[in-house]
Amino acid sequence: MSDIVEKTLTALPGLFLQNQSVGGPAGVKTSFSSRLGGLVRGITALTSKHEEEKLIQQELSNLKATVSAPTTTLRMMKECMVRLIYCEMLGYDASFGYIHAIKLAQQGNLLEKRVGYLAVSLFLHENHELLLLLVNTVVKDLQSTNLVEVCMALTIVSQIFPREMIPAVLPLIEDKLQHSKEIIRRKAVLALYKFHLIAPNQVQHIHIKFRKALCDRDVGVMAASLHIYFRMIKENSSGYKDLTGSFVTILKQVVGGKLPVDFNYHSVPAPWIQIQLLRILGLLGKDDQRTSELMYDVLDESLRRAELNHNVTYAILFECVHTVYSIYPKSELLEKAAKCIGKFVLSPKINLKYLGLKALTYVIQQDPTLALQHQMTIIECLDHPDPIIKRETLELLYRITNAQNITVIVQKMLEYLHQSKEEYIIVNLVGKIADILVLNTVDTYAPDNAWFIQTMNAVFSVGGDVMHPDIPNNFMRLLAEGFDDETEDQQLRLYAVQSYLTLLDVENVFYPQKFLQVMSWVLGEYYYLLDKDTPEEVLTKLYKLLMNDSVSSETKAWLIAAVTKLTSQAHSSNIVERLIQEFTISLDTCMRQHAFELKHLRENVELMKSLLPVDKSCEDMVVDASLSFLDGFVAEELSQGAAPYKPHHQRQEEKLSQEKVLNFEPYGLSFSSSGFTGRQSPAGISLGSDISGNSAETGMKETNSLKLEGIKKLWGKEGYLPKKEGKTGDETEALPVPQESIIMENVDQAVTKKDQCQVLTQSKEEKEKQLLASSLFVGLGSESTINLLGKADTVSHKFRRKPKVKETKSGETTSAHSMTCSYFSSSSNATYEDDYYLDALQDRGDKELNKFSLNSELLDSESLTELPSVEKLSNCKLSSSPSLFTDNNMEGFHPSQSTAPSVAPETSLASSLLEETSEHMHSELVEVCHNETISVSSYKIWKDDCLFIVWSVSNKSGLELKSANLEIAPAENFKVRQ
C-alpha cells in the first residue's frame, strides 16, 4: 500500500470537490452527506481545541433539535446519524441520538436501516438497556425474504445482542445454517459463535450442527466454524479428539493448495485458516501422544512448505513452531522448529526478531541450549533502543535465572525498572524481581545478605506503592522464618535493620507506604539484634514518621505497633511518653486506640513482655478460646439458678420447633450465624471489658502474624527448588577456564555468527558482551555442555562431581582453632573424573566419546584395593570449617548450609549415608587419610547418570573447626573450597 498518495489536509476543500466528481461508490453522495463534509471541513479549519468544542456543541444542539422534530424524514435522520457517529468519535456525548438509531434500524428502508444498525453497533454496549428495543427489529429482519436484510440482522447479532434474548432468535438462526446462500450460512455460524461466547449453555444442544458447518462445501463457512471449535477445544480438548483427523485433513488440503485461488493471500494459501487450524491442533495434541502422532506429518509439511518470502509465511511458521512445541514432542520436528526460531532471531527485521525472542521465551524451559546458541543476539537485544525488545529479552532472562546469573539478571531488570514509568510495567517487573529473590531462598540464589537486602530496598522504593501485597508479606515471612542456619538468619535480619536505619537517616526522602510498613515491622521485631541499651535512636525515627502527614494511617498503625514492641524492651523513654500524649488525643480513633493500649501496657511491664516476646513472630500465640478462666464464674451463676447458655442455632431451632413452621432458609446460614452471635455472648463482652488492653494487644499481635499466614509456602527448608538445575557455585569456581571455552564454543556454533565472532572478539565492546554473556548464561552453560554432548551421543552419562563433605561436630564449642593437615591424598578416581570432565569441555566430538568410555571403564574396573596406591599421586589439603555441611539432599548439587549438629559417630554416619544410597551401586567406605584430630574417608556411588564421590570428614577432637579447604591436585584443573 506504499502507493497511496498522501494528501495533506490543507488541500482538503479542493480534493473534496474532486472526490465528488469521481465516479464509483466513493463518488456517490447525496446532498445531505455534504453536511458531514461541511462539518469535517469546519473542524479542520479551526485552530484551537476550544473552538472545536464550541463548534461541535453547536452542531450537537442542532442535531438534537432535528432528530426530535416530527417533520424530520428518515432520510434526513440517516444523515444526522452519520454526523452523530462522527461527533461521538471525536469524543463528544451524543447519547440523545441512541434511541433514534434504533428507530432508524426499525423503520428505515434498506439504506437507512444499514446506517441505523451501524449506529447501534457503535453507540451501544452489550448491557445497554435500549438494546432490548432492537430485538423485535432483528427478529423481523431475520424472517425477511430480502437477503441483505437478513445479512444485516445476522451481522448486528454477531456484534451486539442482549444475552437474555438469545432464545428469541436462536431457532431462526439455526434455520439459517441450512440456507442456500453461503454468506448467510457463514454469518449464522458467526452469530452462533457470538452466542457461544456470551452464553455457552444456550447453544450446547446444537453442537452437532457445528460439525455440519465444519464439513460445509463453502470454505468461508468452514473457516467460520473453526472459530467456534477453537473456543470449545480450548475449554475442553478431550471432547473433540475424534475431530483431529478432520482438522489434519483440512490443513493438508489447505497447505497443498487445494482451496479456490480466491482464498490465497499474496500467493500463500489461506493463511488465516492455516493458522487457526494450527492453533486447534496445538490444543488437541497437548500431552497426548496418540493424537499428536496424527499431526506430525502435516506439521512437517507446513514447516517445509513455508517459503520465507513474505511476512505471512513467517506468521504461519511462528504458529507452526508454537504447535510443534505444545504437542507431544517429536525430536525430528523439534529440531526443525528450533532452526525456524533461529531464522526469526537472526532476522534483521525487528518484528521477526521480536517474535523470535517471544518464541525463545516459551521454549526455553524445554530446550535451554537454544538460548545458548543465540546468546550474542540476546545480549544485543538487551540494549536495544526499542523498549519492547528489551522487555521481551528480560522476560527471557527471567526464565533462565539461576544461582550464578541472578545478580546480573536482576541488575538488568532494575535498570529497566528505573527507566520505566508505566505502572503496568512496574508492577509486572517488580513482581518478577521479587519472584526471583523472595521465592528463591537467599542462601542458594542470592550471593549475600547485603545484595539481597539492597535489591529488595530498590524494589520497594520503586514499586512499593503498586506492587502486589504478597511481595512485602512474603519478604517479612522470609525474614521471620529464616533458613536452616540460625546465625545466618540473624545476620540477614541485622543487616536489614542496619540498612533501614541508614535509609531513614536520609532527609527529605519519601518512601512508599508498603516499604515503610516493612521497615517498621523489621525494626520492631529485630532491633534488639543491634544490642543497644535503649531503642531511643530508632524510636526517634519512628516518631518522626508518625508525625509526618504524608504517611498514611495504615502505615501509622504499623509504626505504632513497632513502637509498642520496642517499648516492651526498654520502657522508660521520653519519646514514647510524648507519643502517647500526642496520640491519646488524636482524632483518628484507630491511632487513639493504639496509643491507649500502649499507655496501659506500659503500666504492666511483665504483661507486656509476655505479650510481646522477642523474636517469636513465627510462633503461635496460645489463646484460650474456650474461655476456661470463666468456668468458676459460670458455675457460680448456674448454682444460683441462671439459665444455661445455649448457642444461637440451638435457640433458633427451639424457636422454630415451637412455632412448627417450615424452615425455608438454607441450614448453612443458621450455622454461620452462630459463630457471629457467639461474639455477642455475655462472655465475649466480659472478656473485652476485663482485660481490654490485653485482648486488644493480642488482636494486634495476631494481625501481625496473620498477615504472614495463608500465603502459599513457596520455599521449603531446602530452598526453592524448581529452578535448581545445573551445577553448584562451587563447581563454577572450580572450572573458570572451561567455562570460557564453553561460551566460545557455543558462539561458534551459532552458524551465521561463526566468522563474525572471531573477528569481533578483539574489539573491546564485544569483549564486554562476551563477559556479560558468560555471566548470564553461566548456569545453562555447564548443564548444556552435557546437552550439547548429547547431540553426539544422546545417552551419554552425565559425570558430575558432587562433593559431600560431612563432618561431625562435638557438642561443645571451644575457642577458634584452625589447623592444616597437608598431604592428604584424595581418591584418584576424582582426578580421573575431573580430567574427563575438562577434556569433555575442551574438545567434543567422536574422539572424546572414546575417551569417555575408556574413562568409565577405568572407573568401573578400578578395584578398591588399588585405591590407596593411586591416591598418593594426588594430594589434598584440608583445613577445617565452621559450619556443618550435611547434605541430605541427593538432588541438589550443592551442600546446603544447615546447622543440625550431627554428633553421630563416624561409622553410623557412614552407614546412614550408605543406607540413603543403597539402591545405587556404591563402593565400601575407605579411610583415605587421618591424623589425630581429623579423618577423611571416601566412597563412591554410581548412579544412572552420574558418579558421586562422598568424602566424610570427621573431627575426632572436641574442637570446633574453623574452615575447610579442600584441594585436589592437579590444582590448576580442579579446586573445591568450602
Partner 1 sequence: MQFMLLFSRQGKLRLQKWYVSLSDREKKKITREIVQTILARKPKMCSFHEWRDLKIVYKRYASLYFCCAIEDQENELITLEVIHRYVELLDKYFGSVCELDIIFNFEKAYFILDEFLLEGEVQETSKKNVLKAIEQADLLQEEAETPRSVLEEIGLT
d(CA 10, CA 674): 76
Exposed / middle / buried, residue 505 (Cβ in 10 Å: 0-12, 13-18, 19+): exposed
Q: What is the DSSP letter of 436?
A: I
Does residue 312 belong to the site contacting partner 1 (CB under 8 A)? yes
* Interface of this chain with partner 1, residues 816 to 845, rule: CB under 8 A: none
φ and ψ at residue 923, rounded to 5 degrees: -90, 175
H/E stretch holding 940 reads strand 934-942
Interface map 456-495 toward partner 1 (x if CB under 8 A): ----------------------------------------
> Which of residues 311, 732, 818, 875 is near partner 1 by CB under 8 A?
311
| Candidate segments 306-314, 643-651, 804-812, 832-840, binder of partner 1 by CB under 8 A | 306-314
Q: Is 265 in the site for partner 1 (CB under 8 A)?
A: yes
**Residues 192 and 200: beta-carbon distance below 8 Å:** no
Binding footprint of partner 1, residue count (CB under 8 A): 87
Alpha-carbon dihedral sign for residues 943, 946, 949, 950: negative
What is d(CA 171, CA 168) in angstroms, rounded to the nearest whole number? 7
- Does 36 participate in binding partner 1 (rule CB under 8 A)? yes
* Binding flag, residue 314, partner 1 (CB under 8 A): yes
How near is the Cβ of 77 to partner 1 at its closest, in Å?
14
Looking at this protein, which amino acid is placed at residue 850? N
419 binds partner 1 (CB under 8 A): no
Instruction: Work out whether 19 is an interface residue with partner 1 (CB under 8 A).
Output: yes
* Residue 424 sits in the site that holds partner 1 (CB under 8 A): yes
Q: Which of 49, 50, 125, 713 binds partner 1 (CB under 8 A)?
A: 125
- DSSP-assigned letters across all residues of 42-82: HHHH--SHHHHHHHHHHHHHHHHHHHHSTT--HHHHHHHHH
User: CB-wise, 10 or 794, nearer to partner 1?
Assistant: 10
Query: How far apart are alpha carbons 742 and 745 in whole angstroms?
Result: 5
Judge contact between 936 and 878, C-beta under 8 A.
yes
Q: Which of 55, 76, 139, 315 binds partner 1 (CB under 8 A)?
A: 315
Q: How many residues does the chain have?
A: 978
* Residue carrying C-alpha cell 573491546: 764
Query: Does residue 308 bind partner 1 (CB under 8 A)?
Result: no
- Smallest distance, partner 1 to C-beta of residue 306, A: 12
Stretch that binds partner 1, among 265-273, 548-556, 580-588, 774-782 (CB under 8 A): 265-273
The beta-carbon contacts of 602-606 under 8 Å, at least 24 apart in sequence, are: 602/567, 602/571, 602/576, 605/568, 605/571
How far apart CA 260 and CA 280 sit, in angstroms, is 22
Per CB under 8 A, contacts with partner 1 among 221-250 are 223-224, 227
Q: How far is the CB of 82 from partner 1 (least distance, A)?
A: 6
Query: Hey, which residues between 133 and 192 contact partner 1 (CB under 8 A)?
Result: 144-149, 151-152, 155, 158-159, 183, 186-187, 190
Q: Residue 105's Cα: distance from chain center in Å?
A: 47
| Per CB under 8 A, 200 contacts partner 1 | no
Interface with partner 1 (CB under 8 A), residue from 63, 118, 277, 364: 118
At 50, list the grid cell: 476550544
* CB-nearer residue toward partner 1: 96 or 272: 272
Should residue 132 be labelled a site residue for partner 1 when binding is judged by CB under 8 A?
A: no
286 lies in the site for partner 1, by CB under 8 A = no
* Packing angle of the helix pair 387-399, 423-434 (nearest 10 deg): 20
**SS3 per residue for 259-313:** CCHHHEECCEECHHHHHHHHHHHHHHHECCHHHHHHHHHHHHHHHHHCCCCCHHH
Question: Of 118-126, 363-371, 511-519, 610-618, which part binds partner 1 (CB under 8 A)?
Answer: 118-126
Return the number of the residue (147 or 921) whose C-beta is nearest partner 1. 147
3-state secondary structure of 756: helix
Query: By CB under 8 A, is residue 219 in contact with partner 1?
Result: yes
Considering only the stretches 256-264, 399-407, 644-652, 961-969, report the one whose residues sit in contact with partner 1 under the rule CB under 8 A.
256-264
Stretch that binds partner 1, among 23-31, 616-624, 683-691, 925-933 (CB under 8 A): 23-31
- 421 counts as binding partner 1 under rule CB under 8 A: no
What is the closest distance, in whole angstroms, from the C-beta atom of residue 292 to partner 1 in the complex?
20
Q: Is 74 in the site for partner 1 (CB under 8 A)?
A: no
Query: What is the C-alpha to C-alpha distance for residues 785 and 706, in angstroms, rounded to an integer?
Result: 47
Shortest Cβ distance from residue 536 to partner 1 (Å)? 48
Query: Phi first, then psi: what are they for 610, rounded to 5°?
Result: -75, -25
Position 199 contacts partner 1 (CB under 8 A): no
Longest CA–CA span in the chain (Å) reads: 115
Contact segment (CB under 8 A) with partner 1 among 270-278, 458-466, 571-579, 728-736 equals: 270-278
260 near partner 1, rule: CB under 8 A: yes
Q: Would you say 159 or 670 has its CB closer to partner 1?
A: 159
Asked if 451 interacts with partner 1 (CB under 8 A), we say: no
The amino acid at residue 98 is: Y
Q: Is 391 in the site for partner 1 (CB under 8 A)?
A: yes
Q: Smaller CB distance to partner 1: residue 186 or 894?
A: 186
Alpha-carbon gap, residue 116 to 78, rounded angstroms: 7
| CB nearer to partner 1: pick between 313 and 954 | 313
Smallest distance from the beta carbon of 215 to partner 1, in angstroms? 18
The answer to whether residue 642 forms part of the interface with partner 1 (CB under 8 A) is no
85 touches partner 1 (CB under 8 A): yes
3-state SS string for 718-755: CECCCCCCCCCHHHHHHCHHHHHHHHHHHHHHCCCCHH
Interface region with partner 1, contact rule CB under 8 A, candidates 242-250, 271-279, 409-417, 710-718: 271-279
Minimum CB separation from partner 1 for residue 47, in Å? Answer: 13
Assess 790 for contact with partner 1 (CB under 8 A): no
- Residues whose CB falls within 8 Å of the CB of residue 91, separated by 6 or more in sequence, listed in order: none
Q: Shortest gap between Cβ of 29 and partner 1 (angstroms)?
A: 8
The three grid cell numbers given for residue 783, joined into one nine-digit string:
548443564
**Of 28-36, 169-177, 655-663, 714-722: span binding partner 1 (CB under 8 A):** 28-36
Among 32, 55, 66, 121, binds partner 1 (CB under 8 A): 121
The 10 Å CB-count burial string (b at 16+, else e) for 306-318 is: beeeeebbbbbbb
Residue among 50 and 660 whose Cβ is closer to partner 1? 50
Of the candidates 364, 365, 325, 361, the one whose C-alpha atom is nearest the C-alpha of residue 722 is: 365
Selected binder of partner 1 within 22, 215, 706, 971 (CB under 8 A): 22
Q: Is 122 exposed, middle or buried (0-12, 13-18, 19+ CB in 10 A)?
A: middle
Give the footprint of partner 1 on residues 319-378 (CB under 8 A): 319, 350-351, 354-355
Considering beta carbons, is residue 86 or 596 the nearer one to partner 1? 86
Burial profile 580-603: b = 16 or more Cβ within 10 angstroms, e = fewer: beebeebeeeebebbbbbbbbbbe
Contact between 93 and partner 1 per CB under 8 A: yes
- For the CB of residue 313, give the shortest distance to partner 1 in the complex, in Å: 9
The one among 115, 786, 909, 966 contacting partner 1 by CB under 8 A:
115
341 close to 377: Cβ distance less than 8 angstroms: no
Stretch that binds partner 1, among 14-22, 770-778, 847-855, 893-901 (CB under 8 A): 14-22
Residue 204 contacts residue 192 (beta carbons within 8 Å) = no
Among 77, 101, 273, 340, binds partner 1 (CB under 8 A): 273
109 binds partner 1 (CB under 8 A): yes
